[in-house]
Amino acid sequence: MKTNYEVRYAAHPEDAKSYDTARLRRDFLIERVFAADEVNMVYSMYDRMIVGGAMPVAESLKLEAIDPVKAPYFLTRRELGIFNVGGAGVVKVGNEVFDLDYKEALYLGSGERDVVFESKDAANPAKFYFNSTTAHRNYPDKKVTKADAIVAQMGSLEGSNDRNINKMLVSQVLPTCQLQMGMTELQTGSVWNTMPAHVHSRRMEAYFYFEVPESDAVCHFMGQPDETRHIWMRGDQAVLSPEWSIHSAAATHNYTFIWGMGGENLDYGDQDFSAITDLK
C-alpha cells in the first residue's frame, strides 16, 4: 500500500481575488482522491479538516497517522466520517468490522485504534471517501445508511435543482464533536446545487462530486458573493471551501455530491444567504 498526503494552507479572501486558474486549482481542488491500493489525503488548515480517499484493490489499506497529526494513531485526537462510493467494502476498526455498501456511511469517534479498508471484490473495488476533524472527546462509532438519514427534498425541475439532501452524519442523527456530513442527489434534468448560495463563517466545508459521466464536468463556484470564481471539476474529485466562500455548482449532467463541514457549531441551518441576483 501507499499513503500520500499534502498540506494546504488557508488563504485570505483579499489574496484569493488575485489568484489565476492554476493557483485556484492548486489551493482548493483535490484532483486525485482515489488510486488503486493508495490512501490519498489533504491536510487543510481550514479548521484542520483532512479530506481523503482509500481504494483497496489487491491489498488492505491502513489509515496511517500522517506526520501533521503528530499522534500515534490517526484517530487519537480526531473523528472520521466515511462514505463508500464504490463496490462493497469493509472497514475494520480495532476489533469491530463494518460492512459498507454503495452510498453507506460510517462515523468513527476518536480513540487509539487502527482503521483498515478492504474491498470484497477486487474487480469492483470499494472507494472510501472520508473527512476528518479534530475531536475533544469520544463518541460511539456508528454505521448510517440512507434509511437512517434526515431527507430534505428541495428545489424543482423548473429551477434545474430538484434534489434530495440526505443528512447522514449530522447532530440530529448521531452525536459528533464538530464533523457534519451528508449526501445530495440531484434528479435527472437538474444540475444546480446549493442555490441560493450562502456562506457560514463559523464552518468550512468540502465538496466531493461523483456519479459524473466521463464525458461530463462540474463547474464549482467559490469566492465571496461579490467576487466569485469557478473551478471546473471531473467526477471523483473534491474541493475545499473556506468559511468566507460560497460553495455551489452546475454541471453538464445531474450528479451526486458529499458535503462535509467542520468548525465552531453543529447548526446545519447556520447560513448567510445571498440573493441569486446579487452574485457577481
What's the confidence (pLDDT) of residue 134? Answer: 98
pLDDT of residue 64: 98
**Mean per-residue pLDDT, 262-278:** 86
Q: Residue 35 — very low, low, confident or very high, per pLDDT cuts 50/70/90? A: very high
Report if pTM > 0.95: yes
Q: Of the candidates 139, 135, 167, which has an alpha carbon nearest to the alpha carbon of residue 49? A: 135
pLDDT tens for residues 215-267?
A: 999 999 999 999 999 999 999 999 999 999 999 999 999 999 999 999 988 88
Per the CB < 8 A criterion, the answer to whether 237 and 33 are in contact is yes
pLDDT, average across residues 43-56? 98
pLDDT at 112: 96
Buried b (16+ CB within 10 A) or exposed e, 237-268: bbbbbbbbbbbbbbbebbbbbbbbbbbeebeb
**What CATH class has 2-268?**
mainly beta
Helix (H) or strand (E) holding 82: strand 78-84
Residue 113, C-alpha cell as written in the block: 485504534
pLDDT for the residue numbered 272: 82
Give pLDDT, residue 225.
95
Per-residue pLDDT of 88-116, as tens digits, reads 999 999 999 999 999 999 999 999 999 99
pLDDT score of 193: 95
State yes or no: pLDDT of 269 exceeds 80.
no
